[in-house]
Chains A and B, each alone.
Chain A
Amino acid sequence: MHELDLFFHIRFFDNAAIVTDGDVLPSGQPKLWRLSTVHRVEELKSIIRMLPICAAGIILVTSASHNHSFAIQQARTMDRDITPHFKIPPASMLIFTNVGMLLTLAFYDRVLVRVLRRFTGRPNGITHLQRTGVGLTIAMLSNVVAAVVERRRKSVAAASGLLDAPKGATLPMSVFWLVPQYAIHGVANAFMDVGRMEFLYDQAPESMRSTATALYWLTFSIGSYLGTLLVTIVHDKTRRSGQWLPDNLNRGKLDNYYWLVVALEVVNLVYFFICAKYYTFKPLEMVSGEEVELHHHGNGNGTDDAKKQGASFK
């Protein structure tokens, strides 16, 4: 048994499958609120085991939420000319996240998996959990870059005397300085988002896939609320000693906010590695063609599989 299972007292749920007097009706039907099958017990255990891994996605969402707000406001102050007649709209900076993700997905699926397969011997190249871990690490880099760039943007504003410029004034600094933080985030998503979804689909009990997919979206939900909380706390605590997040970002300390997010991501990464190390994979019956036959025609004969499973755990 795994240490993490012990930690969560997960074995407790086995009690549901102990047959005692009066659990089964004379017709042979079990009373479902008193007796569960091993399959149902394991469904619950799988879901419980998946939760800590899912939770590691929360900070990633929080760390990306500023790409939809503060980073767009940064872009609004910068030189957005592409040609003399065309300015890139600030919100369109998100393009670089999309492009980063698209290119990474294509590269990953077409090239990287084939190369990795040669080293690891796995059909998928790396495991879902490894893919997720790589994504978390890259996401952290994105915010390091963001912090460095914002520091530079402010120094340009100070140097050109535009710290208190009216809305719409343009700093002599190209908006393309923001490209790396958006693009790296796209690369991270290609690993992290897909890794998580694969993991959920693979490890969720088959009858709970809509619900398990909802867990994926739930991390977006909690991550977003956490983003609100983080911004509110930071805004509140820095009110006296030089605001970090004022409407005029030139007078703020958005870079400190980015570093704070990086710190949270480091903690999250350590947490994820611990969870992943002790994760117990879903123990599904080996399903080859023959065993499916056995499964369909052997209803009511529970001992075959119990023996097989005993052997597989030695």
Chain B
Amino acid sequence: MACLCTTAANDFCDRLASVGFTTNLISYLTLQLHLPLVQASNIITNYNGTANLTPLIGGLIADSFAGRFWTITFGSIIYQLGMVCLTLSAALPSLHPPPCAKHAADCQRASSYQISVLYLSLLCTSIGTGGTRPCTMAFGADQLELNDAHSRHKPKWSFFNLYFFAVELAKLAAVTAVVYIQDNVGWGWGIGVPTVAMVAAVIIFVSGYKLYIRMPPGGSPLVRLAQVATAAYKKRNAVVPDPSLLYEDKELDAGISTTGRLLHTDQLK
């Protein structure tokens, strides 16, 4: 169960960091970098788009060869680099435009150099989420599943209710404490605090290395799907015989069907 605690602690800090960093991004873009509202809104939705596209690649890497532990670790470190970069851009005067004069109509917008620093850090964090997002929840479920052999056939629904509850608590801390710091203390600290939380998350997670049950990756699911599609295409003109004559090989599928094999559907009549 100790392993579950470090996974949970990691996930908590991870969410605190990422939510604390993205929640108030609109204010950072409009009030510090002086970008127009629509451009700022689009930067955020584009960022969220990219940050949630990369998990598809991360998930495949984890399922195919790297395993969930290493995917999470590398993802977190790259994420960390992005946050350090953003903290610097908020803290160093040369990396953001000077503040507006009060009631001034024209504030100086961020230069293209300053914008590219922003993009670089957003890029790093979105690559990072590719490693963490697809794996943390499944990694947590792995710990539960193997610790308690009897629980693995029970529905996991209350696990998910609990998981989302914990995630929401972390977000709550982020939108209260972190946003308060950003609006009242300053952006250097406001982004610095989540960055430190992320460092803690990585250290806690890696320190649990020996405690975890690390499931060996089961081979690329994408390759398997491609094989099925290719085989079906090659035999596109064949006539489907009686379903009981379709090919089965329990030994071959043993590693990918530990909780039961899938049955043939599409029974006619």
- A-side residues, CB < 8 A to B, are 1, 5, 10-20, 23, 29-30, 32-47, 65-66, 68-70, 72-73, 89-92, 94-95, 98-99, 101-102, 105-106, 108-109, 123-124, 166-167, 190, 193-194, 197-198, 201-202, 205-215, 217-222, 224-225, 227-228, 231-232, 235, 245-247, 280, 282-287, 291-292, 295, 298-303, 305-307, 309-310, 312-313
Contacts and interface: CB of A to CB of B under 8 A. Distances in A.
Interface of B: 22-27, 30, 36-38, 40-42, 44-53, 55-56, 58-60, 62-63, 68, 103, 129, 133-135, 137-138, 141, 153, 155-158, 160-162, 164-165, 168-169, 171-172, 175-176, 179-180, 182-184, 218-219, 221-222, 224-225, 227-232, 234-236, 238, 240-241, 243-268
Contacts of A30: 247, 249, 252
A269 B245 CA distance: 41
A287 B153 contact: yes
Contact of A33 (B38, B141, B175, B231): B231
B64 to A, nearest CB: 9
B234 A34 contact: yes
Contacts of A310: 243-244, 267
A26 B205 CA distance: 47
Contact of B164 (A15, A92, A194, A307): A194
Given A14-B240, A73-B37, A225-B45, A214 B58 contact: yes
A298 B257 CA distance: 14
Given A98-B175, A231-B38, A283-B265, A17 B141 contact: no
The CB with the most chain B CB atoms within 10 A, among A34, A102, A211, is that of A211
Contact of A13 (B155, B171, B184, B232): B232
A225 B49 contact: yes
A227 B263 CA distance: 40
Contacts of B60: 210-211, 214
A13 B265 CA distance: 11
B260 A284 contact: yes
Contacts of A219: 52
B156 A198 contact: yes
B263 to A, nearest CB: 4
The CB with the most chain B CB atoms within 10 A, among A105, A213, A214, A283, is that of A214
Contacts of B260: 284-287, 291-292, 295
A73 B168 contact: no
Nearest to A37: B249
A217 B56 contact: yes
22 contacts: A11-B266, A12-B236, A16-B230, A18-B235, A20-B235, A38-B247, A41-B232, A43-B262, A72-B27, A95-B176, A109-B161, A166-B103, A208-B221, A211-B60, A217-B53, A217-B129, A218-B56, A228-B41, A283-B262, A283-B264, A301-B250, A305-B248
